[in-house]
Amino acid sequence: MKKNKFLKDNIGFLFILPWLIGFLVFKLYPFASSLFYSFTDYHLFKGMSGFTIQNYIDVFAKPLERKSLIVTFKYAFMTVPLKLVAALFIAYILNFKIKGVNFFRTAYYIPSILGGSVAIAVLWKALFKDDGLINGLFGIFGAGPIHFLSDPNWALFIICLLRVWQFGSAMVIFLAALKGVSVDLYEAASIDGAGKWRQFFSITVPLITPVIFYNLITQLVQAFQEFNGPFIITAGGPRNATTLMSLLVYNNAFKNYKMGKASAQAWVLFVILMIFTAISFWSQNHWVYYADEDGR
């Protein structure tokens, strides 16, 4: 009887055992060991000779690492707002009863599942190279060429644009939220004389702030971890203008085999993400509306 009760109480652990083993072996162990390695000079082929905090100092002191940090911040602060605005704007339009709306919803969603594929990288290069399609269009009007891929000031923007273009997932989530806003509210606002813009900013946006908050967090995490775009399209160039931290971590770990250095950079990235996530959670008290209990 006792045995049966024990089994009944703990059978759940058995069910999650595969996940638990995966988590311990493939997540927690590397997570913990990378923290250990980050305080060492561990080189994949030369081994480890001692403990040091130099890896962490280098992240902020060495020009390449510092530049990479700045580039990562620039990338995140350009991409996240642009993507959220684009996703919300398109979701808002696709929430209207338009002919062929399902087609448009699918069409806008497709880019987000293409991700950082090689095909997309080739497309992006073909669009933005010096004699690419975009410059060809500019040429018709006697403008350009703009050196999108070779000018350090433009290259990062082009990488951002790739991610912004892939706003489909965020758009679908916004669309679901917009569907949840009661039509009665809009009718009442119309009767009171509120126009579409007023309705959008005074009804729609406040009511979907939890979803905006959710998208903000996920997009922020995604932006700080961005790897595919700069890896495939620019390989971090020109002049390291698109060397995001994730790319630097990869280069150090798997090109130069400096695992200690790469681990420290990864941990700095992790801490930065934690701080931004914490700030976002703290800030939600001031702008996110939850329709429960006291309304917040």
Partner 1 sequence: MKKKVMAVLLTSVMAASVLAGCGGSSAPAAAPAAPAAEEKKEEAPAAEAQAEAPAAEAPEGADYEECTLKFDWWGGDSRHEATQKAVEAFMAKYPGINVEVNFGAWTDWETARALEYQSGTGSDVTQIGSNWIPDYDGDGTVFLDLNTVSDTLDLTQFEAGDLEKCLDPVGQQAGVPVSMTGRTFYWNKTTFDKAGIDVPKTVDDLIAAGKTFQEKLGDEYYPLTLGEYDRALFMSFYIGAKKGVPIIAEDGTLNVTKEDLVDALNFIQSLEDNHVIPGIAQLAGDGNVTTNENPKFIDGRYAGVFEWDSAPLKYTSNLAEGQELVVGDELDFGGGVYGNSAKVSMAFAICATTQHPHEAAMLVNYLLNDPEGIKIMASERGVPASKIGYDTLNDAGMIDPMIAKAHEAVYATNPMFFSPKFDNGELKGDGAAYIDAFSGLSYGDYSVEDAADVLFDAYSNVCG
List residues binding partner 1 (CB under 8 A): 44-46, 64, 102-103, 106, 109-110, 113-115, 117-120, 125-126, 129-132, 145, 147-152, 233-240, 243, 248, 251, 254-257
Shortest distance in whole angstroms from residue 236 CB to partner 1? 6
| Closer to partner 1 by Cβ: residue 117 or 190 | 117
| Closer to partner 1 by Cβ: residue 251 or 263 | 251
Q: Which residue has the tokens 């988590």?
A: 23
| Closer to partner 1 by Cβ: residue 124 or 174 | 124
Q: Which of 79, 105, 107 is nearest to 164 (CA)?
A: 79
Shortest distance in whole angstroms from residue 238 CB to partner 1? 5
Shortest distance in whole angstroms from residue 155 CB to partner 1? 8
Shortest distance in whole angstroms from residue 1 CB to partner 1? 49
Q: Which residue has the tokens 């917040």?
A: 296
| Closer to partner 1 by Cβ: residue 131 or 187 | 131
For residue 97, how many other CB atoms are within 10 A of its CB?
Answer: 5
| Closer to partner 1 by Cβ: residue 251 or 284 | 251
Convert 12-65 into a string of H (helix), E (strand) and C (coil): HHHHCHHHHHHHHHHHHHHHHHHHHHHCECCECCCECCCECCHHHHHHHHCHHH
Kindly list the distances between the CA atom of residue 130 and the CA atoms of 118, 138, 141, 256, in Å, as whole numbers in the listed order: 20, 11, 16, 32
SS3 289: coil
Shortest distance in whole angstroms from residue 261 CB to partner 1? 12
d(CA 283, CA 260): 35
